[in-house]
Structure 1
Amino acid sequence: MAGASIETTLELWASSLRDVKQRMRPLFSQDRVAASAGQFLDGLLGNEPRKTGWMRAEAAGDPGPWRQQAILGRGSWDADAFCELVRDYALETLADDDAVLVIDETGFLKQGKASCGVARQYTGSAGKITNCQIGVFACYASRHGHAFIDRRLYLPKEWTDAPARMKAAHVPKDMCFATKPQLARKMIAQAIAAKVPFSFVAADSVYGTGDIEAMLRKAGKGYVLGIASNHQVRSWGKAQVFVDTAGNVAQSLPCKAWRRLSAGDGTKGPRLYDWAYLELADLEAGDYNSTLTGTWTRGLLIRRNIGDSELAFFSTWCPKGTSAKKLVAVEGCRWSIEDGFETAKNEFGLDHNESRSWHGWHRHVSLVMLAFAMMAAIRHRANAAAVAPKKTLPRRSIKRRS
């Protein structure tokens, strides 16, 4: 929003906040609950470094955190319906047929054992195994900006195998164990069912292969999905035939197979890596869905770090003729969700949730997602206003007195 005037930005802030509060209102049965939810959103957008119940209550002028806490716990409202509202709101500004749906997870560090889904498990947020919750998210990334449009709380088996613990955290009775890829698949399927416009899905190796690939091929969506170095690669109908692991294939490539390309702009400029792209096989889209036509290519994309030569591997699926540069750009969209996690935690208190219940986690996260989506919309509109051509008044002739 650097190019927008302060006046324009403040006007967008005020009008956008009024708009989202009006959209929220039908989800709450009582005016006072809707007002408290609006104040909760105000607190997330405020300057307080910690978005705790006491901090939000102080910002709202409440004598204590009880009304703020009630929004997450005792209140009666549907967090999933709220999440759909966030998705639809974000798409009004960010929608683009060439968008990328990015899937990733983040950790919420916790103490104790009562918070829903908490366990000793690995999280990239801390870079180690620690006591935390894990949330799997879907981020919508387009040329207009990016925002979260879905989320799922991961429940380890030590939770789903303990009915008393599930009941104490108010987990719905029909909830059972699901792996992170299964949670991701549900979010992607929901986005497809809601006709969310996107052309590719990008994710790391946790979500790389299996049912997600099959579902995307059937839906006519491309993908760039991380795979391990020992993933078996097989090609046919191409000049180069491979039947080996991805790691061995990478080691066998000649120097001319690599190209230096940017995966997008970062805080320090273009994020440059060396890339190799191998087309493995051409397949007919109709083989997966009779309503689809055209030839698609299954491939292997390899990324090499310029500094330490560390390799990363990606399974790809795209319309025939798609360039390596395009696939690199899709993979680079994974940065958007990393940026989203960092911003949502530092600015909007994504990981400041104090509630312990299933509903509390989903409600808090959904409200943060709305705050993030609102800022994404404001940023896009402010930037558009800054570059819009200025209207010039017609020049008036000045008559000279004789």
Structure 2
Amino acid sequence: MEGLLADLPRKNCWTIAEHAGDVTPDGMQHLLSRAVWDADAVRDDVRAVAVECLGGIDAMLVVDETGDLKKGVCSVGVQRQYTGTAGRIENAQVGVFLTYTTKIGHTLIDRELYLPRSWTGVPERCAAAGVPEDTRFATKPALASRMILRALDAGVPAKWVAGDEVYGGNPTLRGDLEKRQVGYVLAAACDHHVTTATGTGRADELVAGLPKRVWQRLSAGKARKDTASTTGPGSDWWVERTSLPGTGGC
């Protein structure tokens, strides 16, 4: 784990073993290729430790994706696709991750590898890479929903879920959260259609027509001098009250 989290320019069994102080990469190679262990069981243990150490008061779940740039075509899920790692379309693997965060700190508690249709649509390719036979295509929001519901089913105390517009624009994900009576702060694209008490319209058009008095100035923390920001330490928020099943709103 120390090696995987290390700031190494290139990570393989040799470099990770050297970083860990091992004379040979035999131990790392055994762990990755021959040892029998349950990755999901380890995930569950990590999740339990995270909740115990970080507490559950006002906890949030944050979902986001990241990419791992690749050179070849054999790594599971690799294809030319957009990745924030490079800020453009590159040959990469993309994973969706779930973070547990409280006032004390934050840590990753779950992960799902995004498999494009270029993989799920070619059973032979999946079989050659060791992908389980019953694996089907799932969008990134579907993977996010899977992880969030898994955490909630395990008793993770989370009152809110946050994510960017990849997830905010998905009605199924929002519906899953509303059914579980979990609040959410999800970004939306400017052309996303929003329904309010005054009707339905594009998000940017609704925002443009709002009077200044409905905006609240909220601090996002102290701004760093070396960080470029168009809003400084605060950002403007429009708070719209919506109803959740069985509640008076959120």
The normalised TM-score by structure 1 is: 0.57
Say which structure, 1 or 2, has more relative contact order (CA 8 Å, 6+ apart): 1
Q: Deviations over 1:260-315 (max 9, x none)?
A: 22123454497322222233x4x3632xxxxxxx411xxxxxxxxxxxxxxxxxxx
**Structure 1 segments unaligned to the other structure (5+ residues):** 1-40, 287-293, 297-317, 319-402
* Shift in CA distance, 276/53, structure 1 to aligned 2, threshold 3 Å: same
* Shift in CA distance, 45/101, structure 1 to aligned 2, threshold 3 Å: closer
Residues 1:146 and 2:106 are matched in the alignment: yes
**Number of matched residues?**
244
CA distance in 1, matches of 2:182, 2:104: 20
Q: Deviations over 1:94-146 (max 9, x none)?
A: 12231110000000000010111100000111110000000100001101100
Are the aligned partners of 2:111 and 2:147 in contact in 1 as well (CA < 8 Å)?
yes
Identity of aligned residues (%): 47
Corresponding position of 2:248: 295
Residues 1:182 and 2:142 are matched in the alignment: yes
Residues 1:247 and 2:204 are matched in the alignment: yes
CA distance in 2, matches of 1:45, 1:125: 16
Q: CA deviation at 1:42?
A: 4.3
Q: Deviations over 1:2-45 (max 9, x none)?
A: xxxxxxxxxxxxxxxxxxxxxxxxxxxxxxxxxxxxxxx34346
Q: CA deviation at 1:89?
A: 1.1
SS across alignment from 2:174: helix
Residues 1:109 and 2:69 are matched in the alignment: yes
Mapping for residues 34-113 of structure 1, pairs under 5 Å: 41-44=1-4, 50-113=10-73
Corresponding position of 1:213: 174
SS across alignment from 2:73: coil
SS across alignment from 1:190: helix
Are the aligned partners of 2:181 and 2:244 in contact in 1 as well (CA < 8 Å)?
no
Mapping for residues 271-290 of structure 1, pairs under 5 Å: 271-279=233-241, 281=242, 283=243, 285-286=245-246
* Shift in CA distance, 97/61, structure 1 to aligned 2, threshold 3 Å: closer
Are the aligned partners of 1:242 and 1:249 in contact in 2 as well (CA < 8 Å)?
no
Q: CA deviation at 1:153?
A: 0.4
CA distance in 1, matches of 2:7, 2:86: 25
Q: CA deviation at 1:204?
A: 0.8
* Shift in CA distance, 250/139, structure 1 to aligned 2, threshold 3 Å: same
Are the aligned partners of 2:167 and 2:187 in contact in 1 as well (CA < 8 Å)?
yes
Corresponding position of 2:217: 260
Q: Deviations over 1:211-253 (max 9, x none)?
A: 11111111121011121212222222xxxx2432111011112
* Shift in CA distance, 123/42, structure 1 to aligned 2, threshold 3 Å: closer
What amino acid is the match of 2:248? T
What amino acid is the match of 2:159? S
SS across alignment from 1:295: coil
Equivalent residue for 1:133, pick from 77, 80, 93: 93
CA distance in 2, matches of 1:180, 1:57: 33
SS across alignment from 1:278: coil
Q: CA deviation at 1:63?
A: 4.1
CA distance in 2, matches of 1:235, 1:78: 46
Moved more, 201-210 or 48-57: 48-57
Q: Deviations over 1:151-180 (max 9, x none)?
A: 000000000111121111111111111110
Residues 1:231 and 2:184 are matched in the alignment: no
**Structure 2 segments unaligned to the other structure (5+ residues):** none
What amino acid is the match of 1:159? W
CA distance in 2, matches of 1:218, 1:109: 37
What amino acid is the match of 1:139? T
* Shift in CA distance, 211/153, structure 1 to aligned 2, threshold 3 Å: same
What amino acid is the match of 2:173? I
* Shift in CA distance, 277/125, structure 1 to aligned 2, threshold 3 Å: same
Are the aligned partners of 1:103 and 1:202 in contact in 2 as well (CA < 8 Å)?
yes
CA distance in 2, matches of 1:48, 1:107: 17
Are the aligned partners of 2:68 and 2:93 in contact in 1 as well (CA < 8 Å)?
yes
Two-structure CA RMSD over aligned residues (Å): 2.1
CA distance in 1, matches of 2:94, 2:55: 28
The normalised TM-score by structure 2 is: 0.89
